[in-house]
Chains A and B, each alone.
Chain A
Amino acid sequence: MSFGGWIIMCASVGGMTLLFGWCIWKVLSTPGSSEHLHGFEVETPDHED
């Protein structure tokens, strides 16, 4: 594996892991944002309101 390969691998894998980790942290640390689980129910939310 070349030096350029190491650079690209670290930037790609590290970048995606950091971004995903930050998103998960943001979702879990924002009150109420982690429990908006929607399935494909017969009624869409605008009908239920």
Chain B
Amino acid sequence: ELSLAVATANNYLVDFAGIGGDFGIMQDFWQRTAPFIIACFAINFYLIWRGLNKGIEWFCKWAMPALIVCGIIILVRVLTLGAPAGAQEHVIYHQADAVPVAAVDAEAPRMVTAAGAQLVPMSVQGDVDSGVGFMWNPVGHRTVAALPVDADAGAEALPDGAAVQTAIAAGKAQRVVVEVGFWEALADPQTWLAAAGQIFFSLSVGLGVIVTYASYMRRDDDIALSSLTAASGNGFFEVALGGMLVIPAAFIFIPVGTIVDAGERASSLSLGFFALPGVFEHMPAGHFFGGLFFFLLFLAAVTSSLSMLQPAIAFLEEGLGLKRHASVTILGALTALGAAFVALISGNLVVLDHMDFWMANFAIFLLATVEVVLFAWVIGVDKGLRELSLGAEIPLPRWLPFLLKVVTPVFLIAIFVIWLGQQATKDKSNYFIALLENSTVQVTIGFMLLVGIFFALLVQVAVKRWQALEASGAVPVDPATSEHVAVEGGEA
């Protein structure tokens, strides 16, 4: 049973996003969803059209410290919740030989997996201690398909692996949450792929956004300390606030199977929207803090979406010579088309889930790997580090070149290859199998490919236009290096 606030938030998000079925968003669309979508679009494109981003960056200079203060206040409330009304009672399974007999829950059935492993249930009360332990204890959790054992039938009646496989194929098996050991959890390449995808996404590496930020830096701006501050600030929000706040709160208020399933699909975004209303329900002025927290998160998201729109705007203006209103109109239309596709084909969030996986996990991982290889091996790590050290307020460690040249590329490529191998045997959340079997997923991938081809064609047009400008002498080129030379006192 979910608490009233969590159930209300859950139902609202399901209706708001139309998760119940395709075109579900159209029900009460103009009253419920449209105002927020329109406001979000209007704010983003008005800011980027007017070039007012500096204003919002200034505003965020105050808003982001406010977000930290707000997060710490909510964190204090989470850590003092104890076992509130509406807290969940979880059943987590263990390998039969890994727990003492006395700890086994006699009420829940024992289970057998397709590999023939016997699992025994343990009950865990959803409270702060177990929630923080769920986040930080050196163990992992995953869901597996298993069959319940008939307690009265005796040991000889245990279903064997083949029987479980048949039951899974027939849809008769249950998915249960199993605790796995520290090393087994660490050895799962999905963990590393999701972690790398998360950190690349939140640091905007592999998206092209980092190129936007680089364009607005002066030659002697301090990149080293700025990027370390950005990375550590991101780590502080995710580890110190997110890890202490969202996951323990989720463990208190949400069934553990939902949490582990979200983690396995690397889309735990909705956990905060489900779990935090449960915290605000138990907080003085909970509506105020809830509203403030999500408003500040929205502001942080606006700065991110502006940085993602800006490279495309700059490309349309500089590559194709379009005026600001034309570039904003074209990009707005394209974004609206993509957003409408995700919003309308909304059943079970299949489209959003697969777009998120293929772009925000798969492609971002590949592109970040390409960026690292380009930086370390094509541009040259020494040349790159010379740029990095210009104006740097902190000394660069001696091991940085080795890290960038060897450790990072080898690590990323190894994780990717092992992960690809793992997909061959994975029965659940397998995005490759879904790509072969699910027509909605095929249309989604087709849509993303079409957008990619459209932009590739635009790049081709832009290159021809740029070459024509160079030939006409409008853009001076150094014949020795083929690079553009300084214009009117600016930098090359």
Question: Residues of A with Cβ closer than 8 Å to B?
Answer: 1-2, 4-6, 8-9, 12-13, 16-17, 19-20, 23-24, 26-27, 30, 33, 36-42, 44-49
The reply on B240 being an interface residue by CB < 8 A is: yes
* Interface locus among B49-57, B197-205, B440-448: B49-57
The reply on B36 being an interface residue by CB < 8 A is: no
The reply on B222 being an interface residue by CB < 8 A is: yes
Is there an interface contact between A33 and B243, defined as CB atoms closer than 8 Å? no
The reply on B324 being an interface residue by CB < 8 A is: yes
6 contacts between A and B (CB under 8 A): A8-B136, A33-B393, A37-B57, A39-B51, A44-B216, A49-B490
Known interface pairs A26-B225, A26-B394. Does A38 touch B54 (Cβ–Cβ under 8 Å)?
Answer: yes
Contact of A12 among B182, B243, B307, B310 (CB under 8 A): B243
Question: Residues of B with Cβ closer than 8 Å to A?
Answer: 48, 51-58, 61, 129-130, 132-133, 135-138, 182, 212-213, 215-218, 221-222, 225-226, 228-229, 232-233, 235-236, 239-240, 243-244, 306-307, 310, 324, 393-394, 489-491
Q: Which of A13, A16, A17, A26 has the most CB of B within 10 A?
A: A16
Q: Hey, which chain A residues are within 8 Å of B133, CB to CB?
A: 1-2, 5
Known interface pairs A26-B394, A45-B217, A49-B489. Does A37 touch B229 (Cβ–Cβ under 8 Å)?
Answer: no
CB-based closest 3 A-B pairs:
A39-B54, A1-B133, A39-B53
Closest to A49 in B: B490
Is there an interface contact between B54 and A37, defined as CB atoms closer than 8 Å? yes
A47 to B225, CA, bound (A): 25
Closest to A48 in B: B490
A30 to B55, CA, bound (A): 24
Closest to B310 in A: A40
Contact of B233 among A1, A6, A23 (CB under 8 A): A23
Contact of B236 among A4, A16, A36, A40 (CB under 8 A): A16
Given contact pairs A36-B222, A38-B213, enumerate 19 new A-B contacts (beta carbons under 8 Å): A6-B136, A8-B136, A12-B240, A13-B240, A16-B232, A20-B236, A20-B240, A23-B232, A26-B225, A33-B225, A38-B57, A38-B217, A39-B51, A39-B56, A39-B58, A40-B212, A41-B53, A45-B216, A46-B491
Known interface pairs A12-B239, A37-B54, A44-B216. Does A24 touch B491 (Cβ–Cβ under 8 Å)?
Answer: no
CB distance from A46 to the nearest CB of B (A): 4
Q: Hey, which chain A residues are within 8 Å of B213, CB to CB?
A: 38
CB distance from A29 to the nearest CB of B (A): 10
Q: Hey, which chain A residues are within 8 Å of B393, CB to CB?
A: 26, 30, 33
Q: Hey, which chain B residues are within 8 Å of A6, CB to CB?
A: 136
Closest to B221 in A: A36
Is there an interface contact between B240 and A44, defined as CB atoms closer than 8 Å? no
Is there an interface contact between A42 and B228, defined as CB atoms closer than 8 Å? no
Contact of B225 among A1, A4, A20, A23 (CB under 8 A): A23
Is there an interface contact between B307 and A40, defined as CB atoms closer than 8 Å? yes
Q: Hey, which chain A residues are within 8 Å of B229, CB to CB?
A: 20, 23-24, 26-27
A20 to B231, CA, bound (A): 9
A48 to B216, CA, bound (A): 11
A47 to B182, CA, bound (A): 53
Is there an interface contact between B51 and A40, defined as CB atoms closer than 8 Å? yes
Is there an interface contact between B53 and A12, defined as CB atoms closer than 8 Å? no
A49 to B55, CA, bound (A): 21
Contact of A41 among B54, B217, B244 (CB under 8 A): B54
Is there an interface contact between A13 and B54, defined as CB atoms closer than 8 Å? no
Q: Hey, which chain B residues are within 8 Å of A39, CB to CB?
A: 51-58, 216
Known interface pairs A9-B132, A47-B490. Does A38 touch B235 (Cβ–Cβ under 8 Å)?
Answer: no
A9 to B137, CA, bound (A): 8
Contact of B137 among A4, A33, A38, A46 (CB under 8 A): A4
A42 to B221, CA, bound (A): 19
A39 to B386, CA, bound (A): 25
Closest to A18 in B: B232
Closest to A35 in B: B61
CB distance from B148 to the nearest CB of A (A): 29
Q: Hey, which chain B residues are within 8 Å of A41, CB to CB?
A: 51, 53-54, 216
Is there an interface contact between A37 and B61, defined as CB atoms closer than 8 Å? yes
A24 to B393, CA, bound (A): 13
Closest to B313 in A: A40
CB distance from B282 to the nearest CB of A (A): 21
A5 to B243, CA, bound (A): 12
